[in-house]
Structure 1
């Protein structure tokens, strides 16, 4: 009986040896790849978290400079976050904030460059749309109306569509294109939620152009 068991054990060992001789190298290679991929993923996660922490510190510096109205410090800090951490959400948020402050301070060229960077580089459609809206505002101030319209020509998330239409209406009005302005304002009014105060502002614009949107749009309410 003991000899029979020994023979079975020997057969199992021989089968295991044969299996390992046949597939051992492949199994080892797959294990190395699996553990290597896991280590690489963990390393990438650590790197991303470290980038986010450092970018967050720079964003705080930008926020402080913005509140103080210190545009020199603001531009320096934004340059740092843009150069060192350009793929982080903090960099794009910083660009929106910096562009807003620079615009308010009358530094239009700097605001244009900053917002243009966000519009071009951000992978977030909402942030890119907001950057283009603000950039169009800068270009309006510079009387570069065609360029402003070009910034508003692409597709945007649905929530931004009425804001884009309203901004287009402002531009058309400045260009003396009243029919196009009415069309854009009407589209904005139609798309805006009737509970928003912003819709009332668009209605005032249409009224000034001799249009009653509640009459022009079936079911419209102010």
Structure 2
């Protein structure tokens, strides 16, 4: 008798499953199709991105070769074209290199290109700071200390990645603009920072030795 009831229960379960399948099978099939299509689309996207990255890498290397051959105009053009169409990883690098190549023909134009990168929040904080530093380096001989201070003071903060170079540029700018108080401030910041690179520390000490003595009160 128990076998009979078991067979009846089994038949009822089969009937219920059949009804569920008849009712919901279309949704299941659609879901499976969407999953397969999604996986295929993702794989296709990954392939295309990988292909773009490989092409951008090859174009970047060719532009670097032009630069190494002192073909700066051609290199600048190649980097500029790459910056317009490359994936994001290469885009910022190409913009920085294009500005570097432009410096050989027009330092003001190159500084403007660096300034544009520094103002572009999409490139990320450290890239922006690097661009600020490069622009300031090109303007060091001509800009006022106030201008350099505006450009670099934030980058000279204690936790900034490029604080050492920023402080050195600010000290040099202050020195060249006869602001010895500001020069001493930045040279002291360099000497008091335990993480200052040895070469930069030596240059700072040499410049510090040229400063006039502090007036005694």
* SS at 1:159 equivalent: coil
What is the deviation of 1:26? 5.5
What is the aligned partner in structure 2 of residue 70 from structure 1?
Answer: 71
Please tell me whether Structure 1 or Structure 2 has the larger radius of gyration of its CA atoms: 2
1:9 equivalent in alignment to 2:10: yes
Q: RMSD across aligned C-alpha pairs, in angstroms?
A: 3.1
What is the aligned partner in structure 2 of residue 42 from structure 1?
Answer: 43
What is the deviation of 1:191? 2.2
What is the deviation of 1:142? 4.1
What is the aligned partner in structure 2 of residue 135 from structure 1?
Answer: 135
Do the aligned residues in 2 keep the contact of 1:136 with 1:151 (CA within 8 Å)?
Answer: yes
Map Cα deviations across residues 101-156 of structure 1 (whole Å, 9 max, x no partner). Answer: 432x2521332243234334463433332221111112224436544433324457
Mapped to 2, the partners of 1:202 and 1:8 lie a distance apart of: 90
- The worse-fitting range, judged by mean Cα deviation, of 129-138 and 91-100 is 91-100
Mapped to 1, the partners of 2:181 and 2:89 lie a distance apart of: 40
Cα pair distance change 1:35/1:58, threshold 3 Å: same
Do the aligned residues in 2 keep the contact of 1:162 with 1:188 (CA within 8 Å)?
Answer: yes
What is the deviation of 1:37? 3.8
Map Cα deviations across residues 67-94 of structure 1 (whole Å, 9 max, x no partner). Answer: 1221220121012111111x43223223
Mapped to 2, the partners of 1:69 and 1:211 lie a distance apart of: 46
Cα pair distance change 1:54/1:117, threshold 3 Å: farther
TM-score (norm 1): 0.76
Unaligned 5+ segments in structure 2 are none
Mapped to 1, the partners of 2:161 and 2:80 lie a distance apart of: 30
Cα pair distance change 1:23/1:152, threshold 3 Å: farther
Mapped to 2, the partners of 1:70 and 1:205 lie a distance apart of: 36
Unaligned 5+ segments in structure 1 are 213-222
Do the aligned residues in 1 keep the contact of 2:187 with 2:208 (CA within 8 Å)?
Answer: yes
What is the aligned partner in structure 1 of residue 176 from structure 2?
Answer: 174
- The worse-fitting range, judged by mean Cα deviation, of 203-212 and 166-175 is 203-212
When the two structures are aligned, how many residues end up with a matched partner? Answer: 210
Mapped to 2, the partners of 1:72 and 1:106 lie a distance apart of: 8
TM-score (norm 2): 0.77
What is the aligned partner in structure 1 of residue 111 from structure 2?
Answer: 112
Do the aligned residues in 1 keep the contact of 2:67 with 2:75 (CA within 8 Å)?
Answer: yes
Cα pair distance change 1:60/1:7, threshold 3 Å: same
1:161 equivalent in alignment to 2:160: no
What is the aligned partner in structure 1 of residue 152 from structure 2?
Answer: 152
Mapped to 2, the partners of 1:17 and 1:30 lie a distance apart of: 19
